[in-house]
Chains A and B, each alone.
Chain A
Amino acid sequence: MIGNVLGMMAILGGAFFLLVGSVGLVRLPDFYSRNHATGKSDTLGIMLVIFGMILIEGVTLNSAKLFFVLVFVFLTNPTGTHALANAALRGGLKPWFRKNVRKAE
C-alpha cells in the first residue's frame, strides 16, 4: 500500500517534468535552448514515471524489464539530443544571443 502511494507520487512528479519539457520546447527562443529543455526535463520525467511504475509493480519480471527500459532511456535520450545538436552545429546553425536582438531593433 505504501509502495502504491509512493509510486503514484513519483508518477505525478514525472508528469510534471514532462509538462515542463513540453512547455520549454514551445517557448524557448532557439534550437539549442529547446534541445536543453527536452534533453534534461524529459529524461528526468520519464525516469521518475518508470521508477513509480516499478514501485507499484513490486519485484516481478515486469519490473526487471522496466528497470532495463529506465537504464536504456537514461543512456540514449541525452545521446540522441547531443547527436542532433552536433549535427546542427556542423550544419551551420547559429546560436541565439541577446545582442542579435538588440541589433535588430
Chain B
Amino acid sequence: MCDGSNPKPIMIDKFFLYCTVVLTVIIFIPLYRVVKGPTIFDRMLGAGAIGTKTMVLILATGFVFNRFDMFVDITLAYAVLNFIGTIAISKFLGTEKGNG
C-alpha cells in the first residue's frame, strides 16, 4: 500500500484479474478492422476503438497490481494522447479529396 488506503478483499483482485483477460480478448476484435479495412477511415476508427479500450485495460491493471494512484495518471495521459491523435489525423485527412 503506497498511499495508506485500506486493502481490498481477495475477491476484488480475482475479479479484476479476470476482467483484464476478458478485455484483452475484446481488444483483439477491432484489430480485424485495422488490418482489413477498405478505406483509411476504417483503419483510423479501429485504432481509436483499440485506444479507448486500452484505457479501461490500464485501469484494471492498476487494480491488479494494487498501484491504482499511479495507473490512473497514466490513463489520463493516454486519453489525452488518443483524443489529440484522432483529431489531428481527421484534420489531415479532411483537407484532401479522394481518400474514400
Q: CB within 8 Å of B: which residues of A? A: 4, 8, 11, 14-15, 18-19, 21-23, 25-26, 31, 34-35, 38, 42, 45-46, 49-50, 53, 56-57, 60-62, 65-66, 68-69, 72-73, 76-77, 79-81, 83-84, 86-88, 90-94
Shortest beta-carbon distance, B3 to chain A, in Å?
A: 8
Q: Name the one of B29, B63, B76, B79 contacting A22, with C-beta atoms under 8 angstroms.
A: B29
How far, in whole Å, are A53 and B97 apart by their CA atoms in the complex? 44
Residue pairs across A and B with CB atoms within 8 Å: the count is 144
| B55-100 with Cβ < 8 A to chain A | 55-56, 59, 63, 68-69, 72-73, 75-76, 79-80, 82-83, 86-87, 89-91, 93-94, 96-100
A69 adjacent to B56 (CB under 8 Å): no
Q: Taking A46-B56, A49-B59 as contacts, is the C-beta distance between A73 and B48 under 8 angstroms? A: no
Q: Give the dominant DSSP class at B's interface.
A: helix
The residues of B with any CB-CB pair to A shorter than 8 Å are: 5, 8-9, 11-12, 15, 19, 22-23, 26, 29-30, 32-33, 39, 41-42, 44-46, 48-49, 52-53, 55-56, 59, 63, 68-69, 72-73, 75-76, 79-80, 82-83, 86-87, 89-91, 93-94, 96-100
Cβ of A21 and Cβ of B49 under 8 Å apart? Answer: yes
Which residues in B have their C-beta under 8 angstroms from that of A15? 19, 22-23, 26
Chain A nearest Cβ from B31, distance in angstroms = 10
List 24 interface pairs A-B (beta carbons < 8 Å), by A numbering.
A11-B15, A15-B23, A18-B23, A25-B33, A26-B29, A26-B32, A31-B45, A34-B33, A53-B63, A56-B8, A56-B12, A62-B5, A62-B72, A65-B72, A68-B76, A69-B75, A69-B76, A83-B86, A83-B90, A83-B94, A84-B89, A88-B100, A91-B99, A91-B100
